[in-house]
Amino acid sequence: MAFGFYKYQTQSFFNLQCAQALNQTIDPYERSRSKTPISNDAVVIGGTSNAKLAQGISQCLGIPLAKSKVLRFADGETHVKILDNVNGKHIYIVQPTCTPVNDNIMELFLTVSAVRRAGAASVTVISPYYGYARQDRKHYWNVPISGADVAQILEFMGVRRIVSVDLHVSQAQGFVTSNTTFDNLEGGFAGLNYFLKEIPNKKDIVIVSPDAGGMHRAKIFHGHFEYHGYGADQIGLAMIHKERKEANKVDSMQLIGNVQGKTCIIVDDMIDTAGTLCEAAKTLKENGAEKVYAFATHGLFNGTAAERIANSVIEKVVTTDSIPLKDEFVKKVGNKHGLVSLDLLLAETIRRVHQKESLDELFQVPYY
């Protein structure tokens, strides 16, 4: 079996090099796209925070979700029971820790505990949206680093791998010791695929970072177009410099770059109240942009986000399904929102982790 894994990895690397040399497209997700069944010692458990995404992942893996039961007692306690056999199995728990964050985190902790106590061989947490990620450092001497605390609790409980997508800060991967692997996947591939189909004239595209801190992410997204034949001389890059008076409130914005007559795509890791996003779009239009789109991996859409987007100059806001959308938001925002799924990405990650294969292609090949 070890030889089989080595053979696949060697062949995979060889295929990537040949495809690049011949300017051909390879599909890293071929097995998951065709729903090729994974081995029966892998068990996928879907938490209650995003049941639809968990179902999509299990379908791509060609196996059913494991049966489990989650109850909420009258006093607020959570009770988890695993109904299928997990003894000696490799467990993959799909549970984004989105709103209600604390309830979903506690459910995750208890699910890990349940499978560990039931004899699971290993536990991997698939949490595309990682709650508390924004609390990643000490602004004052008397505050916690909550993102690190959550990761360390998971590690203490026996989780040996955490898989997330577009962490707010990549250094969050260092919240655990070397005993636990913390993967930070890129959700931009799913968004890239959407815009390749949506925007006919690629030479009019300008990728825009909404702030200086997001410029690295925008550059990566910008670079992905080259794989599809659109080089840096064709796709533009710009940045908006913003000054804040306080959280979620921007005092002023200044554009760095040229967007005159262009189709702009604002790229960010998450959208919370959408105030900054809508102001950024307004700034781009004031500077001559023809159309403005936005892509963010995580759509939190809190507060008046729906109303702001619906009344904004933005053509469409595209997010992934890392967080389930509220029905009220979908109704208010109408056709100004587009959704792309992470099911293929997360399913293929589980497949490769389980079969001890390299994840390189999932980082190197911007094809989805």
Does 167 lie in the same domain as 31?
A: yes
CA–CA separation, 46 and 271 (whole Å): 25
Does 207 lie in the same domain as 147?
A: no
pLDDT tens for the 368 residues of the chain, in order: 444 433 444 444 445 455 454 455 689 999 999 999 999 999 999 999 999 999 999 999 999 999 999 999 999 999 999 999 999 999 999 999 999 999 999 999 999 999 999 999 999 999 999 999 999 999 899 999 999 999 999 999 999 999 999 999 899 999 999 999 999 999 999 999 999 999 999 999 999 999 988 999 999 999 999 989 998 889 999 999 877 666 556 567 899 999 999 999 999 999 999 999 999 999 999 999 999 999 999 999 999 999 999 999 999 999 999 999 999 999 999 999 999 999 999 999 999 999 999 999 999 888 88
Please say whether the beta carbons of 285 and 292 come within 8 A: yes
**Structural domain of residue 226, as residue ranges?**
188-341
pLDDT for 18: 52
Does 178 lie in the same domain as 60?
A: yes
Tokens matching residue 238: 């710009």
Q: Is 69 a catalytic residue?
A: no
Predicted structure pTM score: 0.90
Does 88 lie in the same domain as 67?
A: yes
Does 315 lie in the same domain as 229?
A: yes
Of 368, 332, 18, 54, give the one whose Cα is nearest residue 195: 368
> Would you tell me how many other CB atoms lie within 10 Å of the CB of residue 72?
12
Does 100 lie in the same domain as 43?
A: yes
> Would you tell me how many other CB atoms lie within 10 Å of the CB of residue 73?
8
Does 114 lie in the same domain as 89?
A: yes
Domain count, the chain: 2
pLDDT for 17: 52
Tokens 């781009």 correspond to 284
> Would you tell me how many other CB atoms lie within 10 Å of the CB of residue 88?
11
Is the backbone of residue 320 left (phi > 0), alpha (psi -120 to 50) or beta?
Answer: beta
Does 200 lie in the same domain as 138?
A: no
Q: What CATH number should be reported for the domain holding residue 75?
A: 3.40.50.2020
Residue 322 corresponds to which amino acid? S
| Catalytic, out of 35, 202, 219, 242 | 242
Pairing of strands 181-185, 205-209: unpaired
Does 274 lie in the same domain as 210?
A: yes
Does 99 lie in the same domain as 126?
A: yes
Helix/strand number for the chain, H first, E second: 12, 14
Does 308 lie in the same domain as 211?
A: yes
The DSSP symbol for 24 reads -
pLDDT for 82: 98
Does 150 lie in the same domain as 227?
A: no
Tokens 């081995």 correspond to 39
Go through 274-302 and write b for each residue having 16 or more CB atoms within 10 A of its CB, e for each that does not.
bbbbbbbbbbbbebebebbbbbbbbbbbe
- The kind and range of the H/E element at 266 are strand 263-271
Find all residues with CB under 8 Å of 171, minimum gap 6, and list them: 136
